[in-house]
Amino acid sequence: MSRPLRVAVVGAGPAGIYTVDALVKSGARVSVDVFERMPAPFGLIRYGVAPDHPRIKGIVDALHRVMEKPGVRLFGNVDYGTDLKLEELRQFYDAVVFATGATADQPLDIPGVHLDGSHGAADFVSWYDGHPDVPRTWPLTARSVAVLGVGNVALDVARVLAKSAEEMLATEIPDNVHSGLAVNPVADVHVFGRRGPAQAKFTPLELRELDHSPTVEVIVDPADIEFDDASIAAIRSSKQVDMVVKTLQDWAIRDVGTRPCRLHLHFFHAPAEILGADGKVTGLRTERTELTGDGNVRGTGVFHDWDVQAVYRAVGYRSSHLADLPFDHVTATIPHNQGRVLDVDGGLVPGAYTAGWIKRGPIGLIGHTKGCSSETVASLLADAPTLRPAVQPDPDAVVTYLNARGIEFTTWWGWRNLDAYERALGAPYERERIKVVDRSEMLTASRLDLTIHSGQ
């Protein structure tokens, strides 16, 4: 091919940008455009990671360097399926990689799940991370809440609920989130896992962070520290599991302190029913479980009712079906072979590829996405000689198309302007930034020339 390979990446989160990085580093002649439905890039980092995680948000620095490389462009505020579909993208690109992640909650099939006060964790995360497409308020009225799940998202939800608003003010949270947290009356947060400490899915760092707050007392019941043969084997074979277990053991044997909000970590409690009256949550019923020797658990028939007024379901994320693409509704992933999208008959969808959580499911940490993206890029580049060439490969063609459709897209330098705008909002208060929530304000700020730049 006499011109650079034209590739579109749908999704500007870590998976999408790692895909860009793998393409640029491959040595092939490539020109890459990244399409993102939000006006700002970074996906999960901006809208899925709790605001009091500056270390994880530091990944943004590496993603910045990728997006600033020659031959890479960002088209923000462009919604795949509405503004562009696969057939249209294939007019401008030789290949399209879908890396749209997973943003919906996995369903939990227990009675009472639809009661007022039963919340999906993804919705709460979107609120406290300032997602522009969700309501600006959140019903923080419960004095006692339950969080179902023992992954990192569950800990994020529990920690944000338990910490004081003043502690969170040091982060980038939007003003509306700080105002909401300031009136949060919660005194007890209960986190429930159906298996034992050795089967918990959170990382040691996430776990230890719970105990760093001067206002949050972390409590573990000594009766929940129990292991079977498989648990002991997991502890011996994994440094991460060993660190998690040791932390929980230390907390279980220490005296309970007097910090004002109590965060209880419960194991061997499977959610059985969300209790309610007059359509509202009034409690949670759990069944006590026991280990079966292989790391799994079975119910004991012993139930416990907990006095809570809200329940947050943090049992996993789920990807959504994309227009014109096959979708496995059981696994909530795009069927693929090493990143090559497959149709319902198992044949290849020409020029279509996938990476990240919509490819493999919402598993692994952010860094694990690099290998996933590299596999997809290897498949794409191997196929390059046989791909159907784009009809309009000129980089200006897609710009002309979007302008003709009246789509107000943002660019990488628009993001730099928005970034500078948010930092300017935070500066008078000695905060790194105050995140802008309103989409129209984000678009306006993207047009403001608050930073010196050249290029896109």
Residue type, 114: H
What is the architecture of the domain spanning 5-103+319-410? 3-Layer(aba) Sandwich (3.40)
Tokens of 403: 């302008």
List per-residue pLDDT tens for the chain, 456 residues long: 789 999 999 999 999 999 999 999 999 999 999 999 999 999 999 999 898 887 777 788 889 999 999 999 999 999 999 999 999 999 999 999 999 999 999 999 999 999 999 999 999 999 999 999 999 999 999 999 999 999 999 999 999 999 999 999 989 999 999 999 999 999 999 999 999 999 999 999 999 999 999 999 999 999 999 999 999 999 999 999 999 999 999 999 999 999 999 999 999 999 999 999 999 999 999 999 999 999 999 999 999 999 999 999 999 999 999 999 999 999 999 999 999 999 999 999 999 999 999 999 988 777 778 899 999 999 999 999 999 999 999 999 999 999 999 999 999 999 999 999 999 999 999 998 999 999 999 999 999 865 544 344
Query: What does DSSP say about strands 340-342 and 348-354: parallel, antiparallel, or unpaired?
Result: antiparallel
Distances, alpha carbon 370 to alpha carbons 63, 388, 402, in Å: 12, 27, 30
Using the CB atoms, write b or e for 233-267: b if 16+ within 10 Å. Answer: ebbeeeeebebbbebbeebbeeeeeeeebbbbbbb
CA angle (298 as vertex; 293, 304 as ends), nearest 5: 130
CA distance 361 to 302: 33
Q: Where in the chain do CATH 3.40.50.720 domains reside? A: 5-103+319-410
CA distance 10 to 101: 10
Query: What does DSSP say about strands 310-313 and 72-76: parallel, antiparallel, or unpaired?
Result: unpaired
Q: Where in the chain do CATH 3.50.50.60 domains reside? A: 105-316
CA distance 377 to 15: 11
CATH of 105-316, one of 1.10.443.10, 3.30.450.20, 3.10.50.40, 3.50.50.60: 3.50.50.60
Rounded to two decimals, what is the model's pTM? 0.93
Strand pairing partners for 31? 6
3-state helix/strand/coil string of 210-230: HHHCCCEEEEECHHHCCCCHH
Tokens of 319: 């990807």
